[in-house]
Chain A
């Protein structure tokens, strides 16, 4: 059974810009992959519990001691644009005029 995917919706959720050609190709390819992936539904019965991690660990703590952290400059050095220890981005809100 072919899987119908709303590519525009998924690309919006994923924050990825796709060309029309990419969308067309991806729609076809994802349908094939998902048809294969849907096989998981054949065996996963209600009484089977899900596994998130193969070797789960709970309450992992370390000693509550402070350690040196990265200097600001080292942490910022890879940013495309920064100034005064702040990441700079294009405006995110309308400015009042």
Chain B
């Protein structure tokens, strides 16, 4: 059975416009789905059904007046709990912000809200977006709707699982090293990381400021293009947001890939890549070729150093950004005899193991005597990666690789081995270091019946061409991506 909440945003938007259903009925459908399944999936930290129904009713009244409608209006949306929502608790998956209620909205949310989006809740995530499995949440792991014993990926695991299971039609996440694309891959949905600065970071609670991007989880490429179009653009509250014109990303999305130059990253099919993943991605590449794309072999020669550079740059920036949690202005305070002891105790008790590990790593990499050898060298690798991308995009319009070397893995399998966990992000990290846009599109299932994602990367601000390739592949494959959990429900 298909409920309203199982359709895509563009299908639902048309139904709303044509008066085939109300936004309230749609919101009720998503809420009912969450009530039925989230006891098992644990995608939400703070559901907001009252807010959703109130917003949906307001939209129905508005629509009845015959006023124009944006493509996001009336559609149930979930937000990763690192994006601030005025008056609605925002925890970052951390104990240190357990009762934090922001006095302001993130710009990404402001823009969707202004378009009539219906917020169904805030989703679970790895603490401060640090993780690749959602097991680092202080509020417990999220379970993958495709197999409840496996992880949904991370750090935006709750948003991925919510969209995969119909608890939201679409959702926002954040992507610092792959935290949208990798969970999208493991959960069988489309995950977009736009160009760095394309969407304002205002209200995205900072992890690593030179890498953080807001991204989307959708059940179609077209929906990702719709959301990006609404959120993209300059915001004076984020000095790194880009002022470039925002094209109509949906227009021309079905133009196909005839003559498109597709570069396959040879090094991304080597050791550590599961055979089922490699096979599905290669089959996807063959489909692009069959559709008329010019497929060739591409290379990012310094990509093998990207992981090393990332695990110096991101923790360094995090150690600085997370200095603000000092028990004074917001968040948890654990008392001490003086302010310094209070601060040590607050941070010792408020942060979980992975966050502490990264703060320590970053503090060490920035400390006197080590700065040049670690952080300084990592910044040079970043230059080399930018040069690699520049060379690759002279020859190709888009680059292809697996999104993640594996499909969803069992909860607990990598929890005690940080290095094994970090290797999940080996194919997603280069795009963050280079600031370029990338998207994960489902391209098949492995022998265990778990989804595989194919990653397409384009040059900075060239999202439109990436959407075109992704949409062509999606349409050609025509995959049925309903997780078994829904069939059982």
A-side residues, CB < 8 A to B, are 5, 7, 9-11, 13-18, 22, 26, 29-30, 32-34, 36-45, 48-55, 57, 60, 62-63, 70, 74-75, 77-81, 87, 89-92
Q: Contact check, A81 vs B383: say whether CB atoms are below 8 A apart.
A: no
Q: Contact check, A10 vs B364: say whether CB atoms are below 8 A apart.
A: yes
| Partner pick for A14 among B99, B305, B349, B359, CB 8 A cutoff | B359
* Binding site secondary structure of chain B: helix
What is the chain A residue whose CB lies nearest that of B461?
Answer: A55
What's the least CB distance linking B365 to chain A, in Å? 8
Q: Contact check, B434 vs A30: say whether CB atoms are below 8 A apart.
A: no
B310-365 CB contacts (< 8 Å) to partner A: 311-312, 319, 323, 326-333, 335-345, 347-349, 351, 353, 356-357, 359-361, 363-365
Residues of B within 8 A of A60 (CB): 239-240
Q: How many A-B residue pairs have CB under 8 A?
A: 182
CA distance A75 to B359 in the complex (A): 26
Residues of B within 8 A of A51 (CB): 379-380, 382-383, 386
B102-140 CB contacts (< 8 Å) to partner A: 102-104
- Chain B, 178-222, contact with A by CB distance < 8 Å: what is the 0/1 string? 000000000000000001110000000000001000000000000
Q: Contact check, B333 vs A30: say whether CB atoms are below 8 A apart.
A: no
What is the chain B residue whose CB lies nearest that of A17?
Answer: B348
Residues of B within 8 A of A39 (CB): 305, 308
Q: Contact check, A10 vs B363: say whether CB atoms are below 8 A apart.
A: yes
B374 CB-CB contact with A under 8 Å: yes
CA distance A36 to B422 in the complex (A): 11
Q: Contact check, B381 vs A40: say whether CB atoms are below 8 A apart.
A: yes
B242 CB-CB contact with A under 8 Å: yes
Q: Contact check, B418 vs A57: say whether CB atoms are below 8 A apart.
A: no
What is the chain B residue whose CB lies nearest that of A46?
Answer: B380
Q: Contact check, B348 vs A18: say whether CB atoms are below 8 A apart.
A: yes
B460 CB-CB contact with A under 8 Å: yes
Q: Contact check, A14 vs B381: say whether CB atoms are below 8 A apart.
A: no
- Chain B, 239-261, contact with A by CB distance < 8 Å: what is the 0/1 string? 11010000000000000000000
What's the least CB distance linking A41 to chain B, in Å? 5
| Partner pick for B377 among A41, A70, A90, CB 8 A cutoff | A41
Q: A36-B311, A91-B339 are in contact. List 18 more A-B contacts (CB 8 A).
A: A5-B364, A14-B347, A14-B359, A30-B361, A32-B419, A34-B361, A37-B378, A40-B380, A44-B376, A44-B378, A48-B380, A53-B196, A54-B386, A55-B242, A57-B239, A60-B240, A80-B331, A81-B333
What's the least CB distance linking B415 to chain A, in Å? 12
| Interface-centre pick from B236, B340, B377 (highest chain A CB count, 10 A) | B377
What is the chain B residue whose CB lies nearest that of A48?
Answer: B380
Q: Contact check, A17 vs B383: say whether CB atoms are below 8 A apart.
A: no
Q: Contact check, B356 vs A16: say whether CB atoms are below 8 A apart.
A: yes
Contacts known (A54-B210, A55-B196); A70 close to B100, Cβ less than 8 A = no
13 intermolecular pairs with C-beta atoms under 8 Å apart: A15-B326, A16-B356, A26-B357, A26-B360, A32-B418, A33-B311, A37-B378, A41-B377, A45-B380, A79-B330, A89-B328, A89-B339, A92-B338
CA distance A52 to B233 in the complex (A): 22
What is the chain B residue whose CB lies nearest that of A92?
Answer: B339
| Partner pick for A70 among B104, B365, B373, CB 8 A cutoff | B104
| Interface-centre pick from A39, A48, A79, A90 (highest chain B CB count, 10 A) | A90
Q: Contact check, A15 vs B377: say whether CB atoms are below 8 A apart.
A: no
Residues of B within 8 A of A7 (CB): 360
| Partner pick for B308 among A37, A62, A87, A92, CB 8 A cutoff | A37
B72 CB-CB contact with A under 8 Å: no
Contacts known (A33-B361, A54-B210, A87-B329); A40 close to B104, Cβ less than 8 A = no
Residues of A within 8 A of B302 (CB): 43
What is the chain B residue whose CB lies nearest that of A63?
Answer: B236
Residues of A within 8 A of B357 (CB): 26, 29-30
